Amino acid sequence: MSVRLLAPVLLVVLLAGCGSGDDPQPALAPVQLTLDGPQDASVTDDSTVEVHGRVRPPGAEVLVAGDEAGVDSTGDFTALVTLREGANVIDVQAGAPRRRAAMTALRVTRRVPVEVPDLAGLSPEDATKALEDRGLRADVKRSGGLLDDLLPGSLGVCRTDPDEGERVRVGTVVTVEIAKSC
């Protein structure tokens, strides 16, 4: 072989041998992430929810709704998440060096109870409107008996069930008892 042909071959061999000399580390198995609770699409009246599950490897970092979750030595994790009123989407991410990350999300809806207003003395129409303004429904029932029809005056709210001040879910039917004399 001539020197002219040998020079490019030597150059290729020398360049191939250049570098750090360290072989790249092979990738490890991907991170495994399992959620134990709450269930996806769950509904609660609470202002917070505890998200808990397990991650493999146990040393992986877990972020729940962007905040670091506590991961114990067995890989179990928990995080307390504050919920806004209505639908909430909670992202859960887990990662570890040289491993493909894992991510999932769950939906939790927070219902906010409303207070039954004081309707005493209101007309049936005004009481119905006051309840509807709060997302409640009225079931107006006449009380007072036979003599109530003979009394002068107009109908007004005597009582409600549930009582005023009670906290109920939106859409609850409130029984409104009306009479001329309570």
Structure confidence by residue, pLDDT tens digits, 136-165: 999 999 987 778 777 888 899 999 999 999
Q: Give CA separation, 118 vs 33, 42, 125, 135, in Å.
A: 50, 32, 14, 15
Q: How confident is the model at residue 98 (pLDDT cuts 50, 70, 90)?
A: very high
pTM of the model: 0.63
Residue 175 backbone dihedrals phi, psi, to 5 degrees: -80, 125
Write down the mean pLDDT value for the chain: 88
8 band by pLDDT with thresholds 50, 70 and 90 = very low
pLDDT of residue 43: 95
Starting at the edge strand found earlier in the chain, the sheet holding 67-68 runs 42-44, 102-110, 86-95, 61-64, 67-68
Each residue's pLDDT tens digit, 28-68: 899 999 999 999 999 999 999 999 999 999 999 999 999 99
Contact 69, 63 (CB under 8 A): yes
182 burial type by CB count under 10 A (0-12 exposed, 13-18 middle, 19+ buried): middle
**Separation between Cα atoms, residue 148 and residue 151, nearest integer Å:** 5
Q: Greater confidence, 4 or 76?
A: 76
pLDDT at 112 > cutoff 50: yes
Residue 6 has pLDDT above 70, yes or no: no
Under the banding of pLDDT at 50, 70 and 90, the label for residue 23 is low
Domains of the chain: 27-110 (2.60.40.10), 114-179 (3.30.10.20)
For residue 135, which of 151, 154, 149, 115 has the smallest C-alpha distance?
115
